[in-house]
Copies of this chain bind each other. A is one copy, B any other.
Amino acid sequence: MKFPRHLTPSGPQGSELLARERQQATFNPTDLSYFLYGKEHLERQSRLLALIEHDPVFDKSKRYYSSREERLRHALGKEKRLVELMMEHRWAYTDISVAEYLIDESGPFTLHRAMFIPTLQGQCDEQQRRKFLDRALNYEIIGCYAQTELGHGSNVQGIETTATYLPETREFELHSPTLTASKWWIGSLGIAATHAVVVARLITQGRDYGPHTFVVPIRSLDDHRPLPGITVGDVGPKFGVNTIDNGYLLFDHYRIPHDHMLAKYARVTPEGGEYVKPPNAKLGYGTMIYVRASIVRGVGLYLARAATIATRYAAVRRQFADEQGAGAGEMQVINYTTLQHRLFPAIAQAYALLITGQWMMQMYEEFTQRLQDGNLEMLADIHASSSGLKSLTSNIAIAGTETCRRACGGHGFSAFSGLTTFYADVLPNVTWEGDNYILTQQTTRYLLKTFRSVV
């Protein structure tokens, strides 16, 4: 059956309406783009887009039709091709993240890049950098960051997985004593990871020193099967981000060598198993601060795209007679104050979030600069700022994305609007990397403390 292609929408056509609206702009859109993203970034984006847009492996047309298994399979193919392009063109870190943004679908290597590598960069000693980080950067090993457990999310101090030091063999024995100790929700773990940074309670000389980080091989580098003593798999389908393989992981008295404990800050002496504590207990927070700072920018990009789609649609969609208008046509819905009242704040919020995101990343860069000189001054402030802003901006972006979706009426419910995927994919930001309710309380506590110290 052929769709009757000779038909057009009743006039005026959408393209005319959009052109008319755009002519009324009081600013130069290119200038605004440069202000928001920078010329260098936009040129980089164009260059990368030209490279990937016609590659069939990055085809987006089947996303809404496939089962989760098909989508994961396709996502693995994309990851492979992305690594090839990366190596072929010697991409910088920024190139990779821009390419990922253009592909616009997280994959089984997303957390390898977003959490595994940054943790290794932050917490490896010199020897470990060669042993783990260099191989991770070359994709010889694929990793994930395994902190959350089935029964333990917000309260990291409550995790149950143990890493007991055995000085006689100079090994740590990892163990999951209960079901609630299962590592759970770990992105890139379900099917992709060969290694995991595991957060486990360090036990040495009979004493429990609480959560510390270990690099743990979990799947064979020969045939990718789980290693003996490891139980690993995918936690199943989710509301969104279904091309990420969030996984679970359990250890049955599983041993790793002494040098697999990340030792830049805290460590255990190989011979006697004596605990050497870190200069500052909060130094391990670096990865989390980085991830939260990235979320601030990331959620702004979701809202900006949602607002763009909804605004264009509102200019094209017409409904009810235009009583002030000349002709007998219907009114563009963008002219209704009831719609403006909903849509325009979302546009304003998108700008606010993008600019806040820039500011947050600048603050993070300044923090890491100073950290290299051993200066920890900014730690409390950046921890509170990134936590509070992660919570605030993700709440704003999610509510705004849904406002934009509803502003598109019925067509906003179609997967083809793009808005349903935005919503489902931006939504976990209220929960992951610190539940918003908890983070807001932490920031409040910091602000009250600061207030008391000043007054």
Which residues of chain A have a CB within 8 Å of any CB of chain B? Answer: 1-4, 7-10, 64-70, 148, 150-155, 158, 160, 176-182, 184-185, 226, 231-233, 235-240, 250, 252, 317-321, 330, 338, 406, 409-410, 412-416, 420, 423-424, 427-428, 430-432, 435, 437, 441
Contact = CB atoms under 8 A, between A and B. Distances in A.
Contacts of A153: 319, 409-410
Contact of A67 (B65, B232, B330, B431): B65
A1 B224 CA distance: 13
Nearest to A176: B7
Nearest to A242: B415
A179 B410 contact: no
Contacts of A412: 431
Contact of A237 (B176, B318, B415, B432): B415
Nearest to A329: B158
Given A67-B66, A320-B158, A178 B7 contact: yes
A7 B8 CA distance: 63
Contacts of A409: 153-154, 431, 435
B152 A319 contact: yes
B9 A178 contact: yes
B410 A430 contact: no
B67 A320 contact: no
A338 to B, nearest CB: 6
Contacts of A240: 413
Contacts of A185: 410
Contacts of A441: 338
Contact of A413 (B179, B233, B431): B431
Contact of A65 (B68, B238, B338): B68
Contacts of A427: 413
B67 A410 contact: no
B237 A65 contact: yes
Nearest to A7: B179
Given A7-B179, A67-B67, A226-B1, A155 B320 contact: yes
11 contacts: A10-B179, A65-B237, A155-B320, A184-B410, A235-B414, A236-B416, A238-B413, A239-B424, A406-B430, A410-B431, A413-B428
A176 to B, nearest CB: 7
Contacts of A182: 7
Nearest to A154: B319
A414 B236 contact: yes
Given A64-B236, A236-B416, A9 B151 contact: yes
A25 B250 CA distance: 38
Contacts of A231: 1-4
Nearest to A412: B431
A9 B179 contact: yes
A319 B176 CA distance: 18
Contacts of A320: 154-155, 158
A148 B66 contact: no
A76 to B, nearest CB: 18
A155 B319 contact: yes
A390 to B, nearest CB: 15
A415 B238 contact: yes
